[in-house]
């Protein structure tokens, strides 16, 4: 299986390292030239659960795709959400009629972008609980454990067979993949976690523990989860609001209370744009489409976008 990973950031590097180490035919494509050049020269350095390792993996930028470049069997997208369309546009040449795309990105609505480039039946959607931090060009920090849950966007016998092959390849490489019969539920559930912790910690400029200690945390979480549930109901997803609340509430008690969510790191720490449009912003847009009020998600999206402009990153 010829695998191309789009985006050589933290997650792209994690998946590339694991798959390449297992002997798979893996190639990275990344849009950040200094990252591409560094990895070409030195490979990817990874601090892997405290141990230093490095791995040479072929990498090019979209501009370096050769005219006779082969089409990929599987493309795994690990760009930032807002870079997905431009990246797919840039690598169009390696997307053939038999190319599948696996999307494990945080948030919702990516399938709308993917559909512009591949037939629906070739889209695999999912979530991953693996984490990764990009520290510098060609350097990532990987720790903890995780898994992958995925499903065909349009289930169908032939296409499910390929999806199951992908599950096998990922699992053989140690990425703990499984085929799900209701991945959309998992996507909503994970988006609700990001739509509370990420957006609130970013606008309040605090870590998870600090948010959890405020008197308002319970109400804020419950209002936001209720909006995700109301919109989800219009898409056949019956989110168990209490379970989702408990799941998020657990992060206030665990060992990641000093963690600043990725959106905080993007905007407040690194002054980069956020993925808010694919999290609370997606609920806000869907809410408008379905006539479901989503004021908390809408205001949070507006505040985060305003903050992006104030920090001068958008």
190 is known as an active-site residue: yes
H helices of 173-216, in order, are 183-193, 199-203, 208-213
Decide: is 206 part of the binding site for a second copy (CB under 8 A). Answer: yes
Tell me how far, at minimum, the Cβ of 211 lies from a second copy, in Å. 7
Tell me how far, at minimum, the Cβ of 206 lies from a second copy, in Å. 5
**Beta carbons of 208 and 264 less than 8 angstroms apart:** no
CB atoms within 10 A of CB 281: 26
Considering beta carbons, is residue 34 or 299 the nearer one to a second copy?
A: 299
- Count how many Cα atoms sit within 13 Å of the Cα of residue 41 in the half-sphere of its side chain: 9
At residue 263, the 3 state secondary structure works out as: helix
Decide: is 243 part of the binding site for a second copy (CB under 8 A). Answer: no
Strand order through the sheet with 139-142: 51-55, 44-48, 139-142, 133-136
Decide: is 214 part of the binding site for a second copy (CB under 8 A). Answer: yes
Write down the catalytic residue from 27, 141, 190, 286: 190
Decide: is 182 part of the binding site for a second copy (CB under 8 A). Answer: no
Decide: is 215 part of the binding site for a second copy (CB under 8 A). Answer: yes
**Beta carbons of 126 and 149 less than 8 angstroms apart:** yes
Decide: is 299 part of the binding site for a second copy (CB under 8 A). Answer: yes
Tell me how far, at minimum, the Cβ of 221 lies from a second copy, in Å. 11
Decide: is 228 part of the binding site for a second copy (CB under 8 A). Answer: no
Burial class (CB in 10 A: 0-12, 13-18, 19+), 255: exposed
Tell me how far, at minimum, the Cβ of 298 lies from a second copy, in Å. 9
User: What is the contact surface with a second copy in residues (CB under 8 A)?
Assistant: 200, 203-206, 210-211, 213-217, 219-220, 223, 293, 295-296, 299-300, 302-303, 305-307, 309-310
């Amino acid at each position: 299986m010829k695998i191309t990973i789009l985006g050589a950031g933290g997650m792209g590097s994690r998946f590339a390292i694991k798959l390449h180490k297992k002997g798979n035919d893996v190639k990275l494509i990344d849009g950040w030239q200094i990252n591409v050049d560094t990895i070409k020269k030195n490979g990817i350095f990874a601090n892997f659960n405290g141990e230093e390792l490095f791995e040479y993996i072929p990498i090019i930028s979209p501009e370096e795709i050769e005219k006779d470049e082969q089409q990929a069997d599987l493309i795994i997208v690990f760009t930032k959400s807002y870079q997905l369309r431009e990246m797919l546009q840039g690598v169009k040449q390696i997307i053939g009629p038999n190319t599948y795309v696996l999307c494990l990105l945080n948030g919702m609505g990516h399938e709308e972008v993917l559909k512009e480039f591949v037939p629906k039946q070739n889209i695999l959607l999912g979530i991953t609980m693996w984490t990764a931090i990009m520290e510098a060009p060609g350097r990532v920090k990987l720790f903890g454990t995780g898994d992958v849950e995925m499903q065909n966007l349009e289930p169908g016998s032939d296409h499910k067979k390929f999806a199951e092959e992908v599950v096998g390849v990922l699992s053989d490489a140690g990425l703990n993949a499984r085929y799900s019969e209701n991945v959309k539920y998992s996507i909503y559930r994970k988006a609700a976690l990001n739509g509370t912790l990420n957006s609130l910690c970013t606008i309040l400029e605090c870590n998870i523990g600090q948010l959890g200690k405020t008197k308002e945390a319970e109400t804020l979480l419950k209002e936001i989860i209720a909006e995700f549930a109301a919109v989800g109901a219009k898409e056949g997803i019956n989110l168990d609001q209490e379970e989702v609340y408990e799941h998020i509430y657990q992060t206030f008690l665990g060992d990641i209370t000093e963690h600043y969510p990725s959106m905080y790191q993007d905007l407040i720490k690194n002054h980069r744009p956020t993925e808010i449009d694919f999290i609370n912003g997606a609920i806000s847009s869907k809410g408008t489409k379905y006539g479901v009020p989503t004021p908390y998600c809408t205001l949070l999206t507006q505040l985060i976008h305003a903050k992006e402009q104030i920090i001068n990153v958008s």
